Amino acid sequence: MKVETKTYRLLNTSVFRIAHGARSHTNTFFVRLCRDGICGIGEATPVPYYGITPDDMSSLIDSLAEQWETLAWATPEDLWEALNPILQTNRFAQCAVDIAAHDWYGKKMGQPLYQLWGLSLENLPFSNYTIGLDDISVMQAKLKAVDFPVYKIKLGTSDDVQIIRALRTVTQAPFRVDANGAWTVDQTIAYAPVLKSLGVEFIEQPLAAQDWAGMQALRGKVALPLIADESCQVESDVVRCARVFDGVNIKLAKCGGITPARRMIQQARDLNLRVMCGCMTESSVGISAIGHLLPLLDYVDMDGALLISNDPAHGVRVSEGRAYFTELPGLGVHLPWDIE
């Protein structure tokens, strides 16, 4: 088995702002895993506020060079478990390897992943399109420029309700709002009924990730469902989130890939939680990985490749909220490995 890595700079179509900060580009990380004449491609995009860089990811994977040949595995799940004692310290790197292993396995079996899992592409949820924080007029213009059935609005300012009121004049499509942990308990309680009257479906991560006492204080007092994002990163977080949230947003890069994500989805279902899968700013490789999970989800945010101008890959495509799959096995993606 041979494993190669590559870092690639994704250029945003415009500056993307959330409560954590702003960026005009994102460095994503690709893995190519080759075995038995078959190569699988994986991706994970680290984000600065988690303290992980592509260099960290590359160094960790390169350090395993002597182990790749000796690892015995038949399925992606086998490989994930074998590598978990090492890669759990960097779940972004773990994710890239796991996605590549799934792509490899699907190609070996000659089927797309969703078919291997016995899933159907009928009645899939629509993806939202994300509007980042900006001047209200700019946010309105971005909303007008893209026709989607549902939008996610990034919030976390002193004018959040005013923003939603202004955006509501542009479209009648449902909104989902994401505070990225920037609100207080009192703000969340006060904003929720107004946002609900303005056609908001749910609030994502209103409080800081570790403010469990604050989330407990919100129980039964908020007019909208609350979905965990930063508070739900790994499998052990799901049970804790079930006590104070109505649903979880599972991100492959944060939890370590498709393997733990599928377990988290089942765990959330068992706990009667609503299930969402979200993306980073990433290429069609990462978006395609999310796409194969669509039949298992209530909500999805897979617009990451639409927010960049230089997607190097082709795979599952999102247009006007709907996902379109290729007929290729595995992830169904093509990525030229000689990209610079």
> Does residue 140 share a domain with residue 60?
no
- CATH assignment at residue 70: 3.30.390.10
One domain, residues 121 and 241: yes
What percentage of the chain carries pLDDT values higher than 70?
99
Instruction: Give SS3 for 136.
Output: helix
- What is the DSSP secondary-structure string of 116-135? HTT---TTPPPBPEEE-S--
What contacts 235, CB < 8 A, 6 or more positions away? Answer: 255, 260, 263, 264, 267
Q: pLDDT by residue (tens digit) across 254-290?
A: 999 999 999 999 999 999 999 999 999 999 999 999 9
Identify the domain boundary among 113, 143, 168.
Answer: 113
As a whole number of angstroms, the distance between CA 179 and CA 182 comes to: 5
Angle 185-197/160-168 helices, nearest 10 degrees?
10
Token representation of residue 258: 């498709």
Bigger pLDDT: 67 or 177?
177
Instruction: For residues 151 and 267, state if they share a domain.
Output: yes
pLDDT tens per residue, range 54-92: 999 999 999 998 888 888 899 999 999 999 999 999 999
- Amino acid at position 310, single letter: N
Residue 209 has pLDDT above 80, yes or no: yes
Would you say residue 332 lies in a domain? Answer: no
- Among 2, 57, 62, 63, residue whose Cα is nearest residue 29: 57
**Mean pLDDT over each residue of the chain, to the nearest integer:** 95
Question: Are 310 and 170 in a shared domain?
Answer: yes
> Are 306 and 250 part of one and the same domain?
yes
Asked, for residue 340, whether it belongs to a domain, the answer is no
- Give, as one character, the DSSP assignment of residue 282: -
* Statement to judge: residues 209 and 99 lie in one domain: no
Instruction: Say how far apart CA 113 and CA 165 lie, in whole Å.
Output: 41
pLDDT in tens, 7-40: 999 999 887 777 667 778 899 999 999 999 999 9
Residue 66 belongs to domain spanning: 2-113
In a domain, 190, yes or no: yes
Which tokens sit at 53?
């860089």
C-alpha separations of 17 from 62, 134, 139, 146 in Å = 33, 7, 11, 18
Question: What CATH number has the domain bearing residue 158?
Answer: 3.20.20.120
- One domain, residues 194 and 302: yes
The last residue of one of the domains, among 113, 132, 153, is 113
| Sequence letter at residue 199 | G
Tokens matching residue 295? 């039949």
Q: Above 70 in pLDDT, residue 134?
A: yes
- 50 pLDDT more than 90: no
- What CA–CA distance (Å, rounded) separates 286 from 271? 27
Spatial separation of the C-alpha atoms in residues 128 and 306, rounded to whole Å = 11
Establish if 257 belongs to a structural domain.
Answer: yes
Cα gap 27→57, rounded to integer Å: 12
Q: Which residues contact 216 (CB under 8 A, 6 or more apart)?
A: 243, 244
Instruction: Clarify whether residues 198 and 88 are in a common domain.
Output: no
Question: In terms of domains, do 30 and 147 share one?
Answer: no
pLDDT score of 339: 84
Domain check: are 137 and 37 in the same one?
no
Q: How far apart are CA 298 and CA 150, in angstroms?
A: 13
How many domains are there within the chain? 2
pLDDT at 47: 80
Boundary-marking domain end, from 84, 113, 142: 113
Domain shared by 150 and 102, yes or no: no
Which of 284, 269, 271, 277 has its CA nearest to residue 204?
Answer: 277
The pTM of this model reads 0.96
Give me the pLDDT at residue 16, please. 77
Among 29, 58, 33, 21, which Cα is nearest to 252's?
Answer: 29
Q: Does a structural domain hold residue 234?
A: yes
Both 138 and 239 in one domain: the answer is: yes
The pLDDT score that the predictor gives to residue 20 is 66
Could you tell me if residue 339 is inside a domain?
no
Residue 334 lies in a domain: no
3-state helix, strand, coil in the chain (%, to 5): 35, 25, 40
The pLDDT assigned to 19 comes to: 65
**Would you call 94 helix, strand, or coil by DSSP?**
helix
299 within a domain of the structure (yes/no): yes
